[in-house]
Amino acid sequence: MDIKKAAVDIHENVIKWRRDLHQIPEIGLNLEQTSAYVRDELDRMGIAHHPAAGSGVVGLIEGQQPGPTLALRADMDGLPIREETGLAFASANGNMHACGHDAHMAMLLGTAKIIRTIRPRLHGRVKLLFQPGEEGHFGAAKMIEDGCLENPPVDAIAGLHVGQIFPELEPGQIGVCEGPILAAATRFEVTVKGESTHGALPHLGVDAITVASEIILSLQKIISREMDPLRPAVFTIGQIQGGEAHNIITPRVTFCGDFRTLYEDDCRFITGRLREICSSTAAANRAGAEVKMLGGYPSTVNDPHFTSRFVESAARVIGSENIIPIKKPNMGTEDMSFYLEKVPGVFFVIGTGNEKKNITYPHHNSRFDVDEDTLWIGPAVFSRLALDYLSEPGTNGDCN
């Protein structure tokens, strides 16, 4: 079988799946319609599957010879955005697939269709992970808790993303790198505790707003004056709440935000300095400060050895000239990172923007779209990787 030809042959199927799924976006972990659609398509292909993380779906394709297990992942959830693309198949339910997860699911269904036909050649098995809750709901962690990487245990994993994450990618090109490709995000909340008084009598109270302001300005200097400027990091305060009236010195202010890092030691350093600055600045102003670390996503880190194998496989499909090394990781996050903490793997990006077609809007925008002419690439690359990884020992796959 010619893997590229097989992917091109089912391209219309992939487009149909994408358009069908685009019309029924759902939010978070409860994806009843989306999950049912995926399960129905897997049933039509004769692929066994079971639920995970609520509405997640784990499919399994067994090869006819023993060997390792490769997992392939697609996220499923949409966003609470009212769509303004004007597409004939636009969502009308108030939500939107504004991050390309509809395309991810469609490409993994296409992959399943191809791999189902090459089962006799596989030494091992392929797990298909259709995952809910990527958009801030920790869906990957919940899938792992439900055993998606066990029974049988997963030896390696691959995932993809569409869109304009890396502007250097032309339509249909793949961007990938060894090591960190996306950042970690760590959320926090700080409560400053002062003492209330009348605005005309400030000496009788402790102004939590003034103290919080001083803390916030000091926190911004962690990045500008305490971090190596050659190691990317971002610190953001996104919300501030406090105050009762214009003439009352408020006793309580809460602010929250997150910081983005690529390396674990930077994350630990910023966490420590966050606590120290909040505590010492509050104490210097006769106030108190409570810091809560709310968790977040780890950095998405590609395994160098497996990434190298992936690049070889992908180049056999789209040519090495269309594999673009990512030199500057993006400071966005992805919960693919949770899988990559557990097993070696790769996360890559397919360029699906196209200026000639006015497909230029960024992710999470109400006009976000993908160039459907590129959608055959996902199934082709996933299937080629599966064939190469699960080929007979001593070979590198025996299909074109």
Strands 184-193 and 288-297: antiparallel
Does 16 have pLDDT greater than 70?
yes
pLDDT, tens digit, 9 for 90 and up, residues 139-177: 999 999 999 999 999 999 999 999 999 999 999 999 999
> What is the predicted pLDDT for the residue at 209?
98
Asked whether 70 and 154 are in contact (CB, 8 A), the reply is yes
Gap between the Cα atoms of 36 and 59, Å rounded: 13
Kindly tell me if the per-residue pLDDT of 397 is higher than 90: no
pLDDT band at 398 (very low <50, low <70, confident <90, very high): very low
Domain with CATH 3.30.70.360 in the chain: 184-297
Residues 78 and 97: their CA atoms lie apart, in Å, by: 5
Where does the chain hold its CATH 3.40.630.10 domain(s)? Answer: 3-182+299-389
Provide φ and ψ at 78, rounded to 5°. Answer: -100, -160
Dihedral sign (CA 341, 343, 344, 345): negative
As a whole number of angstroms, the distance between CA 242 and CA 209 comes to: 7
- According to the model, what pLDDT value does residue 300 have? 98
Pairing of strands 65-75, 48-52: unpaired
The tens digit of pLDDT for each residue in 21-43 reads 999 999 999 999 999 999 999 99
Range name among 3-7, 197-201, 365-369, 391-395 with the lowest pLDDT average: 391-395
What is the rounded distance in angstroms from the CA atom of residue 394 to the CA atom of residue 54?
40
Q: Containing H/E element for 193?
A: strand 184-193
Q: Residue 1: pLDDT band by 50, 70, 90 thresholds? A: confident
pLDDT band (50, 70, 90) for residue 20: very high
**Please, what sign has the CA dihedral across residues 72, 78, 84, 90?**
positive
- In sequence order, which ranges of the chain are alpha helices (DSSP H)? 3-9, 11-22, 32-45, 101-117, 139-145, 208-221, 264-284, 304-318, 336-342, 377-389
Percent of the chain with pLDDT over 90: 97
pLDDT tens digits, one per residue of 233-274? 999 999 999 999 999 999 999 999 999 999 999 999 999 999
CB within 8 A of 352, min separation 6: which ones?
A: 100, 103, 162, 163, 164, 171, 359, 370, 371, 374, 375
Q: Give, in words, the CATH class of 184-297.
A: alpha beta
Q: What pLDDT shows up at residue 232?
A: 94
Can you give the pTM of this predicted structure?
A: 0.93
Report the mean per-residue pLDDT for the chain: 96
Q: Which two tokens stand for residue 332?
A: 């966005």
> Does the domain made of 3-182+299-389 have the CATH classification 3.40.630.10?
yes
pLDDT band at 400 (very low <50, low <70, confident <90, very high): low
pLDDT at 350 over 50: yes
3-state secondary structure (DSSP) of residue 22: helix
Residue 114 has pLDDT above 90, yes or no: yes
Lookup result for tokens 């000239």: 321
Our separate counts of H helices and E strands in the chain read 10, 16
Over residues 362-391, the mean pLDDT reads: 98
Per-residue pLDDT, 90: 98
> Given this model, what pLDDT does residue 45 score?
98
pLDDT of residue 31: 98
Q: What is the mean pLDDT of residues 271-281?
A: 98
**pLDDT at residue 395 is higher than 80:** no
